[in-house]
Amino acid sequence: MLNLLRYNAKPRLLALGAASLLNFTLLISPLFSQNSSPPSSDFNGNGVVDFPDFLLFVTAFGSQAGQERYDAKYDLDGNGEIAFDDFLLFVDSFAASSQPPPPSDPRLTRIELPEGFHIRIYAEGVTGARSMSLSPDGTLFVGTRPSGRVYALRDEDGDHKAERVIVLARGLNNPNGVAVKDGDLYVAEINRILRYTNIETQLDNPPQPEIVNDAFPTNRSHGWKFIRFGPDGLLYVPVGAPCNICNRGDPYASIGRLDTNSNFSIIARGIRNTVGFDWHPETGELWFTDNGRDRMGDDVPPDELNRITANGQHFGYPYCHGTNIADPVFGDQRSCGEFVAPVQNLGPHVAALGMRFYTGDMFPEEYRNQIFIAEHGSWNRSSKIGYRVTLVRLNGNRAVSYEPFAKGWLQGESNWGRPVDVLVMPDGSLLVSDDQAGLIYRISYSH
């Protein structure tokens, strides 16, 4: 029977009933296998051993059986042929992957996620980790605030954990924002944008930065910046309001962009303090979070998720907050009806920072083009709120739900971590930075 399976079956017949065969063998494999540490069988490189890997194995098994080709990648026991013993080794690997090992950091057991999702540490020792940017070559750049550092993280062996944590720069002025374009790293300090040219060829000996623009305000209040390159190739830069509530005029409380000559122009106003934005993967419109003002009470105003549909729009600050909450100081000067209302009112004082549309293939289809938001957590509310990653589900351009996705950094009134930014990796996993714990987390999904 084994000889028949090994040599005479055609690939088409081997694929027939593959799911049933795999399920049956998962039950009986302990009777055959003596391998306590099965070799990796992640043939498609998505970070888990799953059913697509099984189909790849079956195809290779059948191709060899039909004397078409032999691929050593599928010869798991290395004996020169792809046989039933290799199939049992694959089943061992499949079973091991379907139950990921427990987190190495016991704190991660506190994080609650939807069924099928798992959280692990991607990098540690990243003091003050804030905004993230991934290069095409796989280097993760991470900005900070008061520590003044910029990091480069490298996963050299493909195990979904960064082995190298490199300090590229020290002593900068709140270098929160990082962005990569054409091999150069851009870093946003409070009053200027820097560029480190050809950075990935010089990680161990980074060059001195060039000044791209040093004409931004020097105010520290809301002066730290999140930056990203847009679909138009230009660098988008916000300028926060230099206060809790005030009306200082341009360039404060805005989002703008640098043209090819590094000149700054405003595209949207009335934005108190955005520390995260992204472009819709289908429409190309810019969506952003905004932090609401303080000292109006525990439950007002909300933070906001907004959408820019045309240049020059105004989103209400300092006159109006949320959908229709008039400011007690400036609200009598203009009506809330004059401004663009939020797509979604977020929690009051949750400090909504980084956001991303989910564009990966790892998570279930229901998550595609939905929005993940890192909520840093409240600082002066009588009862703490936030300290989590939330999900905003969309139907077209309309928000239909706002719900927790990952929570547990806040335990009662004590928090051990504060999410700052989110980033979708090429394999579809989601990275989350934490400036309190100095960690980068990786959230993955397996069936």
Q: What is the pLDDT of residue 50?
A: 66
Tell which residue, 327, 378, 328, has the closest CA to residue 348: 378
pLDDT computed for residue 5 by the predictor: 38
CA distance 427 to 327: 44
Q: Provide the pLDDT for residue 47.
A: 56
The reported pLDDT for the residue numbered 248 is: 98
The residue with tokens 């979070």 is: 289
How does pLDDT run across 214-264, given as a tens digit for each residue? Answer: 999 999 999 999 999 999 999 999 999 999 999 999 999 999 999 999 999
For the chain, domains (ranges, CATH) are 2-98 (no CATH), 106-445 (2.120.10.30)
Residue 159, number of CB atoms within 10 A of its CB: 10
Alpha-carbon distance of 249 to 243, in angstroms, equals: 12
pTM for the model stands at 0.80
> Given this model, what pLDDT does residue 222 score?
98
Percent above pLDDT 70 for the chain:
80
Q: Between 85 and 268, whose confidence is greater?
A: 268
Mean predicted lDDT score pLDDT of the chain: 89
Let me know if 235 is exposed, middle or buried by CB neighbors in 10 A (0-12, 13-18, 19+): buried
pLDDT band at 30 (very low <50, low <70, confident <90, very high): very low
Output the pLDDT for position 21: 54
Q: Give tens-digit pLDDT for 154-194.
A: 999 999 999 999 999 999 999 999 999 999 999 999 999 99
CA 421, CA 416: separation in Å to the nearest integer?
A: 16
User: What pLDDT is attached to residue 83?
Assistant: 73
List Cβ neighbours of 358 (8 Å cut-off, separation of 6 or more): 367, 368, 369, 370, 371, 372, 424, 430
DSSP state, 382? Answer: S
% of the chain with per-residue pLDDT over 90: 76
Helices (H) and strands (E) in the chain, counts: 5, 29
Query: What is the predicted pLDDT for the residue at 355?
Result: 99
Q: What is the pLDDT of residues 185-208, one digit of tens each?
A: 999 999 999 999 999 999 999 999
At 276-334, the pLDDT tens digits run: 999 999 999 999 999 999 999 999 999 999 999 999 999 999 999 999 999 999 999 99
Tens of pLDDT, residue by residue over 67-106, are: 456 566 667 666 767 777 767 766 666 655 555 556 668 8
